[in-house]
Amino acid sequence: MDGCIFCAIGSGAIPAKVLFQDDHVVAFHDIHPVAPVHVLVIPKRHVASLAGTQPGDEDLLGRLLAAARRVAVETGVAESGYRTVINTGEGAGQSVFHLHVHVLGGRTFPWPP
């Protein structure tokens, strides 16, 4: 999608500190981290939000969560614990309208957030 920063990162047009990628997803470090580990996992295909997914996107959603687990292992927070967050819509704090999973770790997270 034209003008989408995450599409540009996913295509390699904008550089990012990429942790890993495959044909479907990219995981990269957030430029404004809120935790010692703060990685974003995005689909390479533009999907505006979780609410914008369609029947048939189950494989993509599974890939995003599998990638989030891989991020936790590769960044060393799998054992100590980590939080995964998907903000959906402006009212929930989504600021980039391209589906993304935040993987947060390296500190204690209160509940409720």
The fold for domain 5-105 equals HIT family, subunit A (3.30.428)
- Which pLDDT does position 26 carry in this prediction? 98
- Which pLDDT does position 113 carry in this prediction? 83
DSSP string, 30-59: -SS-SSSEEEEEEESS----GGG--TT-HH
Going from N- to C-terminal start, the domains of the chain cover 5-105
32 is catalytic: no
Helix (H) or strand (E) holding 34: none
pLDDT grade for 1, boundaries at 50, 70 and 90: confident
Tell me the pTM: 0.96
- What average pLDDT score do residues 35-56 get? 97
Catalytic residue from among 24, 38, 100, 102: 100
9 vs 78: CA distance, rounded Å = 25
